[in-house]
Structure 1
Amino acid sequence: MTTQTNLAKEGGEAGNPGTSQSPQGLKAGLKNRHLSMIAIGGVIGAGLFVGSSGGIAAAGPAILLSYALVGAMVVFVMRMLGEMAAASPDSGSFSAYADRALGRWAGFSIGWLYWFFWVVVLAVEATAGAVILEGWVPAVPQWAWALIVMVVLTATNLASVSSYGEFEFWFAGVKVVAIGAFVVIGLLAVFGLLPGSENPGAGLAHLTDTGGFFPKGVGAVLTGVLMVVFSFMGSEIVTLAAGESEDPRRAVTKATNSVIWRIGVFYLGSIFVVLTLLPWNDSSIVEKGSYVAALDSIGIAHAGQIMNVIVLTAVLSCLNSGLYTASRMAFSLGERGDAPKSFARVNAKGVPVMAIWASVVFGFAAVYFNYAFKDTVFTFLLNSSGAVALFVWLVICFTQLRMRGILMREAPEKVTVKMWLFPYLTWATAAMILFVLVYMVFDEANRQVVLLSVLVAAIVVAVGLVLDRRHRAAARS
């Protein structure tokens, strides 16, 4: 899975002379079943379970359109990323491709921003998991549970990539089975086919019988977009993991081709079930959470505790993948000379130990800030990384616009996955992402997030440009 020399040279012309893109130290420890489940489970984040109720309250049944719009955007972005990853699998994924297509400063910037995003997520998810665990075992304080969770998953990632894959296989498996069962049971109840269902009012009428399909107005669809967009982050993880799989091109192609049905079933399907089981303005949706309220409405006993187990699994999955993703991005940056070289060193099992520890240390620091300086330092970290997902998707769009030409000139036979309606749909997707970012600036609830994220991104880009200039000067001398 080494990248072709000509592609590396082409990247040098774009601003990265002499950069090696081959993840030589990593080993193919992920089996096809690991990659398949990572791909399927990657779109199911904890945000789907805990964040959907706010979106429903803000937009009513029209939240389905919000999920459909963001889902379409993710499908298009994944298609672009799949085109590049299938042709040239790389542990740095979109960061490495941006490095070659747009210039070294671009790969540096988006790589570090993505790393920053995931190490902050580590703290968020560790705390979320600790809240659930403390509710079950209150004798252990919340901070201790957060520490335990972080230590266990750090040990898993340090053991071997196959350990990460095995844990993620089962974590993702629980999420997939849970959402699949929820959709099937819910639809049976909606159409009156579930024996013993205690919800005689369930049905398609709930989509329009309480203020219509747009009870908060058509504009609420965009508000819903802002509320649900971040729950989709994680779809791209499979393209990073593919570099350590047995058959990376096949894994990426399969993941890219299946993203439509995954989003359709897990997101649109499950939200559709909630909205047809209950009126959108039912108070229990906000008080209990959308999925718990839906399960309660059809008489599923202990729905709250069942959902807590599923949410905890989703949290652990996100933590596990977040640490893996952050460490592999750090590894790729180290390999390209954009991070300490020690990040690119691996042990006998092919594990980038220093890259993992660097990510963990920052993650532990973020957990500490969450408890000691929640309203100051941690809030800044959270807000300043909040829009990174959109930045990543935007960079993927611009990278693919350049990479298509590079790939077709140097290795056209490797372009087995192609973006639809290129370049028009790529430009349309980029325009949609930019529209969402601009809309966030005018939305009071999201203004600080996008402005702080832009500030941090501007600083990182400035550093990247300075370093790029220095590298160019050194190469000429």
Structure 2
Amino acid sequence: MIALSGVIGAGLFVGSGAGIAAAGPSIVVAYALSGVLVMLVMRMLGEMSAANPDSGSFSVHAERAIGPWAGFTAGWMFWTLLCVGVAAEAIGAASIMTSWFPGTPSWIWVLLFMTAFCGTNFAAVGNFGEFEFWFAALKVGAISLFLVLGGLAILGILPDTHAPGTANLTGDGGFLPHGTNGLVVGLLTSVFAYGGLETVTIAAESEHPVRGVVTAVRTAMWRIAVFYVGSMLVIVTLIPWSDSAITASGPYVAVLDHLDIPAAGQLMNVIVLVALMSAMNANIHGSSRMAYSLIARGQGPKALGKVSGGVPRLAVIASSGFGFVAVLLSYRWPETVFAWLLTMVGAAVLVVWGFIAAAQLRMRRRLEREAPEKLVVKMWAFPVLTWVALAGVLAILGLMARQPDTRVQLYFTGGLTLALSLIGYLRQRALTARG
């Protein structure tokens, strides 16, 4: 449920409209292709996390397999990504609240949300899990109902509906209305929409972490694929991809309006608000655990590593605080500093996936040699599919370099990766010299 909460957010409910506008009906192929890549990455991550469950997840695996500099880079990269995400989600949630309560300042809602979820993360991890269970259950229920209604409408079973057939899939420019360039843009938006699923292996505080990780990885993969690919197929089958409502009000609202579902807009606003709050809660949890793991391994300020009541509360405060500062920056410099932060982490998830693939290549051979009994989950067709996943990550980074809108993201993220790698390498050299 933590993984589902972290990944099913406004990016799916609203942001997918931009991908549909760019790719047209081929957005289904884009989500399917990126979904396959995500499944490969999650299988690799599941193999390593089941063998060595840790709250630092892929950061720990990268450190053990590649070196301390790699763990440092992957960990702090992901921490920054989650914290900036918390800020963006808080701003989105505040904008919904101000539309419901005109005249109220946005910062009041941001402060309220940040304080509330900082508080839930102060509580025992079981209480956090309870919050996320119900948040995720509501989102999963909403998407499941959407898929059922959409499926009935496609078959012409719903009242006052007729089966659209393939008219919207092949008409209005065809399945690839903007050619392969449109498909590439759709592929990039779909990759970033999947970001956040990695948090499933950060939660190592459960009663049976190995069993929990194995189950979560196996089920989360196909559930996400069904929700994302299935949703895209329903949307582009029921309404024309060029319908302006898809980008104006969001693809889900557009479909519900097309089906004459009463109060569809407000209903989706409630669901999006829940999705944003859920993602905030999950990302504060994930970022604080990643920070705690890094600090426990001597790769961060020791003062933040203190545990109180079974929770790294100072790490929670630091993670929430970074997000709140980012929100303040968005109000003071919305077009400069905050936009720069968002751009800086634009391709961070791809960097993390690259580290996961590289770490799994090395760790699998080590586990087979030293502790084969730990291989509870095994990567399919190793090492062929691991190399395929790594090639896929590199190919998407190459596609980003071709697109003007994503090229800047790639450069900024590359700069952050190089800076963190250099700091991590210098720290590693210093520790080696001291030892």
Match of 1:342 in 2: 303
Query: Structure 1 residue runs of 4+, over 6 Å off?
Result: none
Normalised TM-score (structure 2): 0.98
**Matches of 2:47 and 2:11, distance apart in 1:** 27
Question: Contact (CA 8 Å) 1:85, 1:249: kept in 2 or not?
Answer: yes
Superposed, 1:11-410 pairs within 5 Å as 37-194=1-158, 196-197=159-160, 199-200=161-162, 202-241=164-203, 243-347=204-308, 349-410=309-370
Match of 1:21 in 2: none
**Matches of 1:42 and 1:456, distance apart in 2:** 23
Over residues 35-63 of structure 1, what are the superposed CA-to-partner deviations in whole Å (9 max), with x where a residue is unaligned? xx224444422200111111111010001
Aligned residues: 435
What is the identity percentage for the equivalent residue pairs of Structure 1 and Structure 2? 49
Question: Higher mean Cα deviation, 126-135 or 211-220?
Answer: 211-220
- How far apart are residue 408 of structure 1 and its match? 1.5
**Matches of 2:85 and 2:104, distance apart in 1:** 23
- How far apart are residue 355 of structure 1 and its match? 0.7
- How far apart are residue 203 of structure 1 and its match? 3.2
**Matches of 2:52 and 2:374, distance apart in 1:** 8
Normalised TM-score (structure 1): 0.89
**Matches of 2:414 and 2:181, distance apart in 1:** 25
Summarize the Cα distance change of 1:315–1:40 in structure 2 as closer, same or farther, 3 Å threshold.
closer
Question: Contact (CA 8 Å) 1:43, 1:262: kept in 2 or not?
Answer: no
**Matches of 1:39 and 1:47, distance apart in 2:** 15
Match of 1:412 in 2: 372
Match of 1:471 in 2: 431
Over residues 372-417 of structure 1, what are the superposed CA-to-partner deviations in whole Å (9 max), with x where a residue is unaligned? 0111111111111111100000100000001101211221111011
Question: Contact (CA 8 Å) 2:7, 2:197: kept in 1 or not?
Answer: yes
- How far apart are residue 142 of structure 1 and its match? 1.1
- How far apart are residue 463 of structure 1 and its match? 0.4
- How far apart are residue 205 of structure 1 and its match? 2.7
Question: Higher mean Cα deviation, 72-81 or 419-428?
Answer: 419-428
Question: Contact (CA 8 Å) 2:42, 2:221: kept in 1 or not?
Answer: no
**Matches of 1:266 and 1:392, distance apart in 2:** 23
Could you list the runs of 5+ residues in structure 2 that have no partner in the other structure?
A: none
- How far apart are residue 354 of structure 1 and its match? 1.1
Q: Which amino acid aligns with 1:269?
A: G
Question: Contact (CA 8 Å) 1:388, 1:453: kept in 2 or not?
Answer: yes
Residue 403 of structure 2 is aligned to residue 439 of structure 1: no
Match of 1:23 in 2: none
Question: Contact (CA 8 Å) 2:5, 2:279: kept in 1 or not?
Answer: no
- How far apart are residue 259 of structure 1 and its match? 3.4
Over residues 102-157 of structure 1, what are the superposed CA-to-partner deviations in whole Å (9 max), with x where a residue is unaligned? 00000011111111111111110000000001111123211211111111111111
**Matches of 1:289 and 1:404, distance apart in 2:** 43
**Matches of 1:432 and 1:108, distance apart in 2:** 24
Match of 1:426 in 2: 386
Q: Secondary structure at the match of 1:375?
A: coil
Q: Which amino acid aligns with 1:180?
A: S
Q: CA RMSD in A?
A: 1.2
Summarize the Cα distance change of 1:114–1:264 in structure 2 as closer, same or farther, 3 Å threshold.
closer
Question: Contact (CA 8 Å) 1:87, 1:249: kept in 2 or not?
Answer: yes
Q: Secondary structure at the match of 2:368?
A: helix
Q: Secondary structure at the match of 2:24?
A: helix
Q: Which amino acid aligns with 2:422?
A: A
Question: Contact (CA 8 Å) 2:307, 2:313: kept in 1 or not?
Answer: yes
**Matches of 2:221 and 2:293, distance apart in 1:** 29
Q: Secondary structure at the match of 1:219?
A: helix
**Matches of 1:289 and 1:42, distance apart in 2:** 20
Q: Which amino acid aligns with 2:62?
A: A
**Matches of 1:353 and 1:40, distance apart in 2:** 24
Question: Higher mean Cα deviation, 254-263 or 207-216?
Answer: 254-263
Over residues 414-435 of structure 1, what are the superposed CA-to-partner deviations in whole Å (9 max), with x where a residue is unaligned? 1011111111111111111111
- How far apart are residue 220 of structure 1 and its match? 2.0
Question: Contact (CA 8 Å) 2:326, 2:338: kept in 1 or not?
Answer: yes
